[in-house]
Structure formats: C-alpha cells, structure tokens
Amino acid sequence: ISGAQLERKRFSIAAHYRNVTENDVPALTQAVEAVAARHRELRRIDGKKVFELLPAIEWDKGKAVMWLLEALALERENVRPIYIGDDSTDEDAFRALKERGVGILVSEQPQPTAAIYSLKNPAEVEGFLRQLSVFFV
C-alpha cells in the first residue's frame, strides 16, 4: 500500500500509515487484521497513525514504567516520575503514575486523558524541560 511503512522492532512490528491516503487506510487495516488473525500469538494495538503487532501478553507502557521504577529502586516516597507522551498507547503509563507521578499529554487538540497536565507540542515540552532543569542545576 503506497505510503505505508513497516518498522521491525525488537519485540514487535509496526505498520505506519501517516503517509497513506485516507482511501487506502481500510486496506491497510484489513491487511494488519489478517496477519493478526493468522497469528493468534499476536495482538494489535492502535497508536497515532500506526498499528502495532505485539506478543499477546499482558504488557503495556504502564506496566513497563512500574517495572522500571522497581528495577531501578525508584519506588520511594520521595521519587515523582514524570511521563510525557503523545499517543493513545501512553494512557496506560498516565494511569499507572496517577497516584505517584506526573503524566503529561502532548496534543494540539484537547482530548480525554488520564494525564494530569498537557502541553501542545514538542516545543512546549522543550520549554517545560528547560524550566524544570533550572531546579536541578
């Protein structure tokens, strides 16, 4: 399908359709669904203009963040993780950190989210991080 890009990742494969015409998106969707149907060991997650096929295990960005905090011994009361994301797949991490950290959604358009704060674009993220760095220098 013209404009589609396949990205092989370590544990998954992603079909990006940012450059696919709107008329061709259903064909790409069907192709990805057909692969997932043939391989029951895979599950599909939808991101921002991307379909990703991953192993069908209970794992998401929220579980990954919590695992990292534990693995790095950062589960202490005085640690406040900040998670910045721009995709629907980041919502699991926002939810996981809700009680103990800060989730920041990056989106030009207001949308429902589990994140506590939002920034409009990468330039605002850069400005936020620059301001934050003042406190740690």
Distance (Å, whole) CA 45 – CA 30: 14
* Distance in Å from the first CA to the final CA of the chain: 49
Residues 6+ apart with CB under 8 A from 14: 6, 7, 47, 50, 51, 52, 53
Dihedral angle, C-alpha 32, 33, 37, 42, nearest 10 °: 60
Q: pTM (2 decimals)? A: 0.71
The pLDDT tens digits for 33-75 are 999 999 999 999 998 899 999 999 988 999 999 999 999 999 8
The pLDDT tens digits for 74-122 are 988 889 999 999 999 999 999 999 989 999 999 999 999 999 999 999 9
